[in-house]
Structure 1
Protein backbone atom coordinates (compact mmCIF):
# COMPACT_ATOMS: atom_id res chain seq x y z
CA UNK A 1 0.00 0.00 0.00
CA UNK A 2 1.43 3.40 -0.95
CA UNK A 3 2.16 5.62 2.03
CA UNK A 4 1.37 9.33 1.85
CA UNK A 5 3.93 11.45 3.69
CA UNK A 6 2.69 14.41 5.69
CA UNK A 7 3.34 17.65 3.81
CA UNK A 8 4.61 20.63 5.73
CA UNK A 9 3.95 24.32 5.23
CA UNK A 10 7.30 25.61 6.46
CA UNK A 11 8.47 26.15 10.04
CA UNK A 12 7.29 23.60 12.58
CA UNK A 13 4.92 21.70 10.35
CA UNK A 14 3.80 18.73 12.43
CA UNK A 15 3.09 18.15 16.10
CA UNK A 16 3.78 14.76 17.64
CA UNK A 17 1.67 14.13 20.73
CA UNK A 18 3.05 11.34 22.93
CA UNK A 19 0.52 10.00 25.41
CA UNK A 20 2.20 9.14 28.72
CA UNK A 21 0.74 6.97 31.45
CA UNK A 22 2.03 5.02 34.44
CA UNK A 23 3.97 1.83 33.52
CA UNK A 24 4.66 3.23 30.03
CA UNK A 25 7.01 0.85 28.19
CA UNK A 26 9.96 3.20 27.68
CA UNK A 27 11.76 1.14 25.04
CA UNK A 28 8.79 1.03 22.67
CA UNK A 29 9.01 4.78 22.09
CA UNK A 30 12.79 5.14 22.15
CA UNK A 31 13.62 4.90 18.46
CA UNK A 32 10.83 7.07 17.12
CA UNK A 33 10.83 9.86 19.71
CA UNK A 34 14.61 10.27 19.72
CA UNK A 35 14.80 10.60 15.93
CA UNK A 36 11.78 12.87 15.51
CA UNK A 37 12.83 15.11 18.39
CA UNK A 38 16.56 15.35 17.60
CA UNK A 39 16.25 15.74 13.85
CA UNK A 40 19.79 14.40 13.51
CA UNK A 41 19.07 12.48 10.29
CA UNK A 42 16.48 14.83 8.79
CA UNK A 43 16.64 16.00 5.20
CA UNK A 44 18.67 19.14 4.63
CA UNK A 45 16.61 22.20 5.54
CA UNK A 46 13.84 20.12 7.15
CA UNK A 47 12.42 21.75 10.26
CA UNK A 48 12.20 19.80 13.45
CA UNK A 49 8.81 18.61 14.49
CA UNK A 50 7.26 19.71 17.76
CA UNK A 51 7.06 16.80 20.22
CA UNK A 52 4.78 17.13 23.25
CA UNK A 53 3.95 14.69 26.01
CA UNK A 54 0.27 14.63 26.91
CA UNK A 55 -1.76 12.91 29.63
CA UNK A 56 -5.07 12.99 31.48
CA UNK A 57 -3.53 15.20 34.20
CA UNK A 58 -0.38 17.23 34.83
CA UNK A 59 0.74 14.82 37.55
CA UNK A 60 4.11 13.12 36.96
CA UNK A 61 4.00 9.71 35.28
CA UNK A 62 6.29 6.84 36.28
CA UNK A 63 7.43 4.65 33.41
CA UNK A 64 8.10 0.93 33.54
CA UNK A 65 11.81 1.75 33.51
CA UNK A 66 11.52 3.96 36.58
CA UNK A 67 11.73 7.31 34.80
CA UNK A 68 9.51 10.22 35.74
CA UNK A 69 7.78 12.25 33.02
CA UNK A 70 5.88 15.48 33.64
CA UNK A 71 3.34 15.93 30.80
CA UNK A 72 3.55 19.08 28.70
CA UNK A 73 -0.20 19.30 28.20
CA UNK A 74 -3.59 17.71 28.77
CA UNK A 75 -5.78 15.73 26.39
CA UNK A 76 -8.10 18.76 26.07
CA UNK A 77 -5.14 20.86 24.88
CA UNK A 78 -4.51 18.71 21.80
CA UNK A 79 -5.07 20.54 18.52
CA UNK A 80 -6.08 18.05 15.86
CA UNK A 81 -5.18 18.70 12.22
CA UNK A 82 -4.08 16.54 9.31
CA UNK A 83 -0.47 17.19 10.33
CA UNK A 84 -0.95 15.96 13.90
CA UNK A 85 0.42 12.59 15.02
CA UNK A 86 -0.61 10.73 18.18
CA UNK A 87 1.76 8.12 19.63
CA UNK A 88 0.21 5.60 22.02
CA UNK A 89 2.78 3.42 23.85
CA UNK A 90 2.31 0.11 25.56
CA UNK A 91 1.63 0.06 29.30
CA UNK A 92 0.06 -2.20 31.93
CA UNK A 93 -2.50 0.42 32.95
CA UNK A 94 -4.55 0.93 29.78
CA UNK A 95 -7.62 -0.67 31.39
CA UNK A 96 -8.04 2.31 33.72
CA UNK A 97 -11.16 4.23 32.58
CA UNK A 98 -9.32 7.56 32.88
CA UNK A 99 -7.54 6.74 29.61
CA UNK A 100 -10.82 6.67 27.71
CA UNK A 101 -10.44 10.36 26.83
CA UNK A 102 -7.29 9.81 24.78
CA UNK A 103 -8.87 6.92 22.88
CA UNK A 104 -11.83 9.13 22.01
CA UNK A 105 -9.28 11.69 20.87
CA UNK A 106 -7.67 8.97 18.75
CA UNK A 107 -11.07 8.38 17.14
CA UNK A 108 -11.18 12.10 16.29
CA UNK A 109 -7.66 11.94 14.85
CA UNK A 110 -8.56 9.07 12.56
CA UNK A 111 -11.80 10.63 11.38
CA UNK A 112 -10.08 13.93 10.51
CA UNK A 113 -7.18 12.34 8.66
CA UNK A 114 -4.61 12.84 11.42
CA UNK A 115 -2.29 9.96 12.28
CA UNK A 116 -2.57 7.49 15.17
CA UNK A 117 0.33 5.16 16.01
CA UNK A 118 -0.28 2.48 18.65
CA UNK A 119 1.99 -0.26 19.93
CA UNK A 120 1.51 -3.28 22.21
CA UNK A 121 -1.08 -2.62 24.95
CA UNK A 122 -2.27 0.54 23.23
CA UNK A 123 -3.64 -1.59 20.39
CA UNK A 124 -5.84 -3.34 22.94
CA UNK A 125 -7.12 0.04 24.10
CA UNK A 126 -8.06 0.91 20.51
CA UNK A 127 -9.69 -2.50 20.11
CA UNK A 128 -11.80 -1.93 23.23
CA UNK A 129 -13.32 1.12 21.56
CA UNK A 130 -13.94 -0.60 18.24
CA UNK A 131 -11.31 1.39 16.37
CA UNK A 132 -9.70 -1.73 14.88
CA UNK A 133 -12.90 -3.48 13.80
CA UNK A 134 -12.83 -2.21 10.20
CA UNK A 135 -9.15 -1.50 9.48
CA UNK A 136 -6.02 -3.59 8.85
CA UNK A 137 -3.96 -3.73 12.04
CA UNK A 138 -1.69 -5.86 14.17
CA UNK A 139 -0.98 -6.47 17.85
CA UNK A 140 0.86 -8.98 20.03
CA UNK A 141 0.00 -12.02 17.94
CA UNK A 142 -3.20 -13.77 16.82
CA UNK A 143 -5.59 -14.25 19.73
CA UNK A 144 -4.15 -11.49 21.90
CA UNK A 145 -6.84 -8.91 21.23
CA UNK A 146 -9.61 -11.49 21.73
CA UNK A 147 -8.06 -12.33 25.10
CA UNK A 148 -7.77 -8.76 26.43
CA UNK A 149 -10.54 -6.94 24.52
CA UNK A 150 -13.83 -8.89 24.80
CA UNK A 151 -15.67 -6.58 22.40
CA UNK A 152 -13.06 -6.84 19.65
CA UNK A 153 -14.61 -7.62 16.24
CA UNK A 154 -11.70 -6.98 13.90
CA UNK A 155 -10.38 -10.53 13.44
CA UNK A 156 -10.71 -10.50 9.65
CA UNK A 157 -8.61 -7.32 9.47
CA UNK A 158 -5.81 -8.68 11.66
CA UNK A 159 -2.40 -8.89 9.93
CA UNK A 160 0.19 -11.14 11.59
CA UNK A 161 3.20 -8.87 11.08
CA UNK A 162 5.37 -6.87 13.52
CA UNK A 163 3.98 -3.50 12.36
CA UNK A 164 1.20 -2.57 9.92
CA UNK A 165 0.35 0.68 8.12
CA UNK A 166 -3.20 1.44 7.04
CA UNK A 167 -3.25 5.01 5.74
CA UNK A 168 -3.24 7.14 8.93
CA UNK A 169 -3.23 4.21 11.39
CA UNK A 170 0.07 2.50 12.27
CA UNK A 171 -0.09 -0.40 14.73
CA UNK A 172 2.64 -2.60 16.12
CA UNK A 173 3.32 -5.62 18.29
CA UNK A 174 5.51 -5.35 21.38
CA UNK A 175 8.44 -6.65 19.31
CA UNK A 176 7.94 -4.31 16.36
CA UNK A 177 9.19 -1.01 17.81
CA UNK A 178 12.00 -0.51 15.30
CA UNK A 179 9.85 -1.20 12.24
CA UNK A 180 7.05 0.88 13.77
CA UNK A 181 9.50 3.77 14.15
CA UNK A 182 10.61 3.38 10.54
CA UNK A 183 7.03 3.44 9.29
CA UNK A 184 6.17 6.50 11.37
CA UNK A 185 9.27 8.38 10.21
CA UNK A 186 8.44 7.47 6.61
CA UNK A 187 4.87 8.68 7.08
CA UNK A 188 6.02 11.99 8.54
CA UNK A 189 8.43 12.34 5.61
CA UNK A 190 11.44 13.96 7.30
CA UNK A 191 14.16 11.49 6.18
CA UNK A 192 15.48 10.92 2.69
CA UNK A 193 14.44 7.43 1.60
CA UNK A 194 18.03 6.15 1.43
CA UNK A 195 18.78 7.62 4.86
CA UNK A 196 15.78 5.84 6.33
CA UNK A 197 16.69 2.50 4.73
CA UNK A 198 20.30 2.70 5.96
CA UNK A 199 19.13 3.77 9.42
CA UNK A 200 16.77 0.82 9.63
CA UNK A 201 19.32 -1.69 8.31
CA UNK A 202 21.95 -0.50 10.76
CA UNK A 203 19.75 -0.68 13.83
CA UNK A 204 18.15 -3.98 12.81
CA UNK A 205 21.42 -5.77 11.94
CA UNK A 206 24.23 -3.90 13.70
CA UNK A 207 26.41 -4.36 10.61
CA UNK A 208 28.91 -1.50 10.25
CA UNK A 209 28.52 -1.09 6.49
CA UNK A 210 25.00 0.20 7.10
CA UNK A 211 26.32 2.81 9.53
CA UNK A 212 28.77 4.09 6.94
CA UNK A 213 26.02 4.05 4.32
CA UNK A 214 23.88 6.10 6.70
CA UNK A 215 26.65 8.66 7.18
CA UNK A 216 27.16 8.80 3.40
CA UNK A 217 23.49 9.64 2.85
CA UNK A 218 23.88 12.57 5.22
CA UNK A 219 27.00 13.92 3.51
CA UNK A 220 25.28 13.66 0.12
CA UNK A 221 22.37 15.59 1.64
CA UNK A 222 24.57 18.67 2.23
Structure 2
Protein backbone atom coordinates (compact mmCIF):
# COMPACT_ATOMS: atom_id res chain seq x y z
CA UNK A 1 0.00 0.00 0.00
CA UNK A 2 1.36 3.40 -0.99
CA UNK A 3 1.48 5.88 1.88
CA UNK A 4 2.34 9.52 2.08
CA UNK A 5 5.54 10.10 4.04
CA UNK A 6 5.75 11.28 7.61
CA UNK A 7 7.69 14.50 8.10
CA UNK A 8 9.95 15.03 11.11
CA UNK A 9 10.95 18.61 11.81
CA UNK A 10 14.65 19.01 12.61
CA UNK A 11 16.36 22.13 13.87
CA UNK A 12 19.32 23.10 16.02
CA UNK A 13 18.98 21.95 19.66
CA UNK A 14 16.24 19.42 18.89
CA UNK A 15 15.74 16.86 21.64
CA UNK A 16 17.03 13.56 20.25
CA UNK A 17 15.18 11.28 22.68
CA UNK A 18 11.66 12.51 22.10
CA UNK A 19 10.78 11.05 18.69
CA UNK A 20 12.94 7.93 18.32
CA UNK A 21 10.24 5.41 19.21
CA UNK A 22 7.80 7.18 16.91
CA UNK A 23 9.96 7.37 13.81
CA UNK A 24 11.54 3.92 14.19
CA UNK A 25 8.24 2.10 14.44
CA UNK A 26 6.60 4.18 11.73
CA UNK A 27 9.46 3.20 9.43
CA UNK A 28 9.01 -0.45 10.41
CA UNK A 29 5.34 -0.10 9.55
CA UNK A 30 6.20 1.04 6.04
CA UNK A 31 6.18 4.81 6.34
CA UNK A 32 8.95 6.83 4.76
CA UNK A 33 10.23 9.36 7.30
CA UNK A 34 11.59 12.57 5.79
CA UNK A 35 13.33 15.31 7.76
CA UNK A 36 12.37 18.95 7.32
CA UNK A 37 14.70 21.74 8.39
CA UNK A 38 14.53 25.53 8.30
CA UNK A 39 16.66 25.13 5.17
CA UNK A 40 18.59 22.21 3.69
CA UNK A 41 21.72 23.00 5.68
CA UNK A 42 22.64 20.55 8.45
CA UNK A 43 21.32 21.07 11.97
CA UNK A 44 22.77 19.79 15.25
CA UNK A 45 20.69 18.16 17.98
CA UNK A 46 21.12 18.55 21.73
CA UNK A 47 23.03 15.25 21.67
CA UNK A 48 25.40 16.50 18.97
CA UNK A 49 23.88 14.53 16.09
CA UNK A 50 24.32 16.27 12.76
CA UNK A 51 21.28 15.94 10.50
CA UNK A 52 21.05 17.08 6.89
CA UNK A 53 17.34 17.75 6.19
CA UNK A 54 15.68 16.04 3.24
CA UNK A 55 13.83 19.24 2.44
CA UNK A 56 13.41 22.81 3.62
CA UNK A 57 10.29 23.95 5.44
CA UNK A 58 9.28 26.15 2.52
CA UNK A 59 9.06 23.05 0.33
CA UNK A 60 6.67 21.20 2.62
CA UNK A 61 2.97 21.00 1.70
CA UNK A 62 0.30 19.41 3.91
CA UNK A 63 -1.18 17.50 0.99
CA UNK A 64 2.10 15.65 0.54
CA UNK A 65 2.28 14.42 4.14
CA UNK A 66 0.66 11.88 6.45
CA UNK A 67 1.85 13.61 9.62
CA UNK A 68 4.10 16.43 10.85
CA UNK A 69 6.15 15.68 13.98
CA UNK A 70 7.53 18.60 15.98
CA UNK A 71 10.13 17.65 18.62
CA UNK A 72 11.17 19.86 21.49
CA UNK A 73 14.24 22.07 21.26
CA UNK A 74 15.87 24.81 23.29
CA UNK A 75 15.10 27.20 20.45
CA UNK A 76 11.36 26.98 21.11
CA UNK A 77 11.93 28.95 24.33
CA UNK A 78 14.94 31.11 23.53
CA UNK A 79 13.99 32.74 20.22
CA UNK A 80 11.31 33.07 17.55
CA UNK A 81 13.39 31.07 15.07
CA UNK A 82 11.00 28.12 15.10
CA UNK A 83 7.78 30.14 14.75
CA UNK A 84 7.58 29.20 11.04
CA UNK A 85 7.20 25.55 12.11
CA UNK A 86 4.24 26.49 14.31
CA UNK A 87 2.69 28.36 11.39
CA UNK A 88 3.20 25.27 9.23
CA UNK A 89 1.45 23.22 11.93
CA UNK A 90 -1.53 25.56 11.57
CA UNK A 91 -1.58 24.95 7.81
CA UNK A 92 -1.48 21.19 8.41
CA UNK A 93 -4.33 21.27 10.91
CA UNK A 94 -6.39 23.55 8.65
CA UNK A 95 -5.89 20.97 5.89
CA UNK A 96 -6.92 18.05 8.14
CA UNK A 97 -3.41 16.58 8.31
CA UNK A 98 -2.26 15.44 11.78
CA UNK A 99 0.40 17.23 13.81
CA UNK A 100 2.25 15.68 16.77
CA UNK A 101 4.12 18.05 19.10
CA UNK A 102 6.16 17.17 22.16
CA UNK A 103 7.90 19.20 24.87
CA UNK A 104 8.92 22.71 23.77
CA UNK A 105 7.02 22.37 20.51
CA UNK A 106 3.80 22.54 22.52
CA UNK A 107 4.81 26.01 23.67
CA UNK A 108 5.36 27.00 20.07
CA UNK A 109 1.87 25.83 19.21
CA UNK A 110 0.49 27.67 22.23
CA UNK A 111 2.06 30.92 21.02
CA UNK A 112 0.50 30.30 17.61
CA UNK A 113 -2.94 29.97 19.23
CA UNK A 114 -3.34 26.32 18.26
CA UNK A 115 -3.97 25.11 21.82
CA UNK A 116 -6.59 27.70 22.76
CA UNK A 117 -9.51 25.51 21.67
CA UNK A 118 -8.03 22.01 21.75
CA UNK A 119 -7.42 19.59 24.62
CA UNK A 120 -3.67 19.30 25.13
CA UNK A 121 -0.83 18.58 27.51
CA UNK A 122 2.80 19.59 27.91
CA UNK A 123 5.56 19.60 30.51
CA UNK A 124 3.36 21.43 33.07
CA UNK A 125 0.47 23.92 33.05
CA UNK A 126 2.68 26.82 34.18
CA UNK A 127 5.09 26.18 31.30
CA UNK A 128 2.37 26.86 28.75
CA UNK A 129 0.82 29.63 30.86
CA UNK A 130 4.09 31.53 30.48
CA UNK A 131 3.39 31.81 26.74
CA UNK A 132 0.35 33.96 27.46
CA UNK A 133 -1.95 31.62 25.57
CA UNK A 134 -5.69 31.42 26.17
CA UNK A 135 -6.02 27.65 26.39
CA UNK A 136 -5.30 26.99 30.05
CA UNK A 137 -8.77 25.59 30.65
CA UNK A 138 -8.12 22.94 28.00
CA UNK A 139 -4.89 21.70 29.61
CA UNK A 140 -5.10 17.99 30.52
CA UNK A 141 -2.86 16.37 33.09
CA UNK A 142 -2.03 13.25 31.08
CA UNK A 143 1.02 11.60 29.56
CA UNK A 144 -0.17 12.40 26.02
CA UNK A 145 -3.36 13.85 24.58
CA UNK A 146 -5.03 13.54 21.19
CA UNK A 147 -7.69 16.04 20.15
CA UNK A 148 -8.75 15.40 16.58
CA UNK A 149 -5.66 15.86 14.43
CA UNK A 150 -3.44 17.26 17.18
CA UNK A 151 -1.26 15.13 19.48
CA UNK A 152 0.67 16.67 22.37
CA UNK A 153 2.97 15.27 25.05
CA UNK A 154 5.50 16.41 27.63
CA UNK A 155 9.26 15.81 27.48
CA UNK A 156 9.23 12.72 29.71
CA UNK A 157 6.65 10.84 27.64
CA UNK A 158 8.20 9.77 24.31
CA UNK A 159 6.56 6.33 24.54
CA UNK A 160 3.07 7.70 25.19
CA UNK A 161 3.67 10.21 22.40
CA UNK A 162 4.48 7.37 20.00
CA UNK A 163 1.42 5.42 21.18
CA UNK A 164 -0.88 8.30 20.25
CA UNK A 165 0.75 8.67 16.83
CA UNK A 166 0.35 4.94 16.15
CA UNK A 167 -3.29 5.09 17.21
CA UNK A 168 -4.01 8.15 15.06
CA UNK A 169 -2.39 6.62 11.95
CA UNK A 170 -3.79 3.13 12.59
CA UNK A 171 -0.33 1.55 12.82
CA UNK A 172 -1.32 -0.46 15.90
CA UNK A 173 -4.75 -0.88 17.47
CA UNK A 174 -6.43 -2.63 20.37
CA UNK A 175 -4.42 -5.24 22.24
CA UNK A 176 -1.41 -4.80 19.95
CA UNK A 177 -1.18 -1.09 20.72
CA UNK A 178 -1.62 -1.87 24.40
CA UNK A 179 1.11 -4.53 24.22
CA UNK A 180 3.52 -2.14 22.49
CA UNK A 181 2.98 0.44 25.20
CA UNK A 182 3.30 -2.06 28.04
CA UNK A 183 6.53 -3.41 26.60
CA UNK A 184 8.28 -0.09 26.02
CA UNK A 185 6.77 1.97 28.84
CA UNK A 186 6.32 -0.61 31.59
CA UNK A 187 8.99 -3.18 30.59
CA UNK A 188 6.26 -5.84 30.70
CA UNK A 189 7.92 -8.88 29.14
CA UNK A 190 4.56 -10.62 28.75
CA UNK A 191 3.60 -8.01 26.16
CA UNK A 192 6.43 -9.06 23.84
CA UNK A 193 4.68 -12.19 22.59
CA UNK A 194 1.57 -10.23 21.59
CA UNK A 195 3.60 -7.63 19.77
CA UNK A 196 5.85 -10.20 18.09
CA UNK A 197 2.89 -12.17 16.72
CA UNK A 198 1.46 -9.01 15.24
CA UNK A 199 4.65 -7.57 13.75
CA UNK A 200 6.83 -10.55 12.78
CA UNK A 201 7.46 -10.76 9.02
Q: Into which bin does the TM-score normalised by the smaller protein fall?
A: over 0.9
- Does the 8 Å contact 2:8/2:33 carry over to 1? yes
Q: Match of 1:52? A: 34
Q: Match of 1:18? A: 8
Match of 1:113 among 70, 75, 96: 96
- Does the 8 Å contact 1:82/1:114 carry over to 2? no
State the Cα distance separating 1:58 from its structure 2 match: 1.2
Tell me if 1:212 matches 2:187.
no
Compare the two structures and name the one with the higher helix fraction: 2
Tell me, what secondary structure is at the counterpart of 1:153?
coil
Report the number of matched residues: 200
Whole-angstrom CA distance in 2 between matches of 1:119 and 1:190: 19
Q: How large is the RMSD of aligned CA atoms in angstroms?
A: 1.6
Match of 1:87 among 69, 81, 88: 69
Whole-angstrom CA distance in 2 between matches of 1:205 and 1:71: 33
1:82–1:113 distance in 2 versus 1, CA, 3 Å: farther
Q: Match of 1:44? A: none
For normalisation by structure 2, the TM-score amounts to 0.93
Q: Which has the higher contact order (CA 8 A, sep 6+)?
A: 1
State the Cα distance separating 1:177 from its structure 2 match: 1.2
Could you tell which deviates more after superposition, 194-203 or 110-119?
194-203
Kindly name which structure, 1 or 2, has the bigger radius of gyration based on alpha carbons.
1
1:80–1:93 distance in 2 versus 1, CA, 3 Å: same
Tell me if 1:38 matches 2:28.
yes
For normalisation by structure 1, the TM-score amounts to 0.85
Q: Match of 1:186? A: 167
- Does the 8 Å contact 1:140/1:173 carry over to 2? yes
Tell me, what secondary structure is at the counterpart of 1:49?
coil
Q: Match of 1:163? A: 144
Q: Match of 2:80? A: 97
| Superposed CA offset, 1:110-159 (max 9, x none) | 11111010000000011111111111111111211112x1x311011111
Tell me if 1:76 matches 2:58.
yes
